[in-house]
Structure 1
Amino acid sequence: MHLHDFWFLLIAVLWTGYFFLEGFDFGIGVLTKTLAEDRTERRVLINTIGPVWDGNEVWLITAAGATFAAFPDWYATLFSGFYLPLLAILVCLIVRGVAFEYRHKRPEERWQRNWENAIFWCSLLPAFLWGVAFAAMVRGVPIGPDKNYSGDVLDLISPYTLLGGLFTLVLFTFHGAVFAALKTTGDIRHRARAHATRYGLAALVLAGAFLAWTQADSGNGRSLPAAVIAAVALLAALVLNRTGREGWAFALSGVTVVAVFAMVFLALFPDVLPSSSDPAWSLTAAGSASSPYTLKIMTWVAGFMTPVILAYQAWTYWVFRKRIGTQHIPAAH
């Protein structure tokens, strides 16, 4: 395997890991308005991800940084052409982080309500926009012979990309609902399972449409098994959620997220960003990579740091593995 192929695989793993972890963060943020019935229950949901949400975002920073270092042409064209949606995602992530930290700083109802609205909208919008962005990346965007993006923001919008955005929004919300059922106790746990069933059924319908469209339009022999695994895992997660097997349901909803984005990257390869203007102008993994020496140094660094990151994140999830409920929330003063 060439180093540029290895780094394409590693970047795919980093982005997929980010969506597996941040996916249920986004889902919890959406559920603070659709599942929680009062401020105490919203605090329960926020506390399920409170110790881990910022660690989950490390995967985004690492994925973006690795893309910049390993494939500078891909990074430059992607982040310039997708500038507005990526800027909106960045602003949402910043505001959401501030909202998590500032919501409880003052007791006034209006203060807390405003930050809760920020958590909801700044979870919903990125969950939708990431789907639009990755669907546009698979479909192809206008790229000129100079490797520069030659379109505008409207070129990112189409029925296919909007379907991709809606699918990731519903899938992440389902993922978050299963996580909420796994991490809570009492009435909110049972309602989370009911919500997971509803979101899961919607995600199943959207998955059928999005995966079939992707496979028909951009797929290949490598991406088809990933699409099948995604559909089967989603259906199994729904069944296990209905039977109260929250741990297995969450594992399989995670498999669904992983398989969906694995399909995206498998459909892309060996391109990293297809050109809708002329296939000859598409950016490829081989043509967009850094020098072999740069990739070799990065491989040594990644070999050392990746186990460290995985170890401390696994330890964090182990420490905060207990369920929580409204009885664990102290009465407001």
Structure 2
Amino acid sequence: MGELPPYAAEIAAQVERLASAPAGVEERVAEIFAVLRRLVPYEAGVLQVLNPERLRFETLGAVGYGEATMAHLLGPRHYEEVELLGLDRDGEPIRGRDAPIPPSEMYSWTEHFAPAGFREGIGVALFNPDGRQVGIMALHTGSPEHPTDAARDFLGLLAPVIAEAVDPLRSVATLSTVVSDAVAGVVLTRSGGVLPLPGLPEHPILRSGAPVLGAAAERLVDGEPYGAFLCRDDSHTPDGRYVRISVLTCPVQSPAHLRAVVLVSPPGDLHGLTRRELEILGLLIDGWSNQRIANLLVIAPRTVAAHVEHILAKLAAPSRTLAAVRALRLGLYVPRSLIRSRR
């Protein structure tokens, strides 16, 4: 890297501070734009996060663009141009004059940026340390002399810190603090995929397509912000000890493709309930009759009735309805979709 731009140390310190600040992401983005104006005298700028499921970018903050340009930045052509420019890969920022494709051959430049009076621009790919693309940032200027070489290189140094500051998984990860003894977790997307949850390791039972994630998605159908249930963990012990699965809906301000945080923690107090009783509790929550439960579990109805009596005693519940309510509130049951038939 060559000569540092003016105020480089001060700018770096401000961006570092913003990355660790507790402010909301929109506030952090606005402050990042304010800080970067000292580095690049831009007339317009946009910071977007990647929606990998829709192959689109979602805008966190923007200044200086018209309505039509903002609509373009949310569309497929913009995503395709990001790929063509190589901004879908972790690398150096790219100015218009350095681009592998001349601006005159790019739809966004000929139809939006040039007509708006911009003469130069720079795109910055934002990646986190584990190699996941968080999003992109672009700044457009009215002068062909900006950004300078020094500003371009320094933006490259700032990119990982900016990525950390705006990473949508960072704000979602704060949900994991609700479950203080969580040992693993993932973020569940609306398509059923999983993303890593910053601060917690992944777990074999939370792999993409795992039955537990299907059960977690079912808990979200009711619109509740939080739910919990039990499942057997065969990944570490052959006897399949129970773990607790907690499901927390992502905040409404989260990117649209993020649905919930799914956490694994120790099972807690099982109140002496047996495996069979925990399964029956899941069916009681679904409103099943003794006969229907017996048919599924391949046991006699009188055996189901005996189990229900034991459940009522262990949960100090006077009725099966109240037992189901308490089990649901405590996450003290195995969902029907996770019950293993013994046929």
**TM superposition score normalised by structure 1:** 0.24
Larger proportion of strand: 2
Higher RCO (C-alpha 8 Å, min separation 6): 1
Larger Rg: 2
Which one has the bigger helix percentage? 1
The two structures have a TM-score, normalised by structure 2, of 0.23
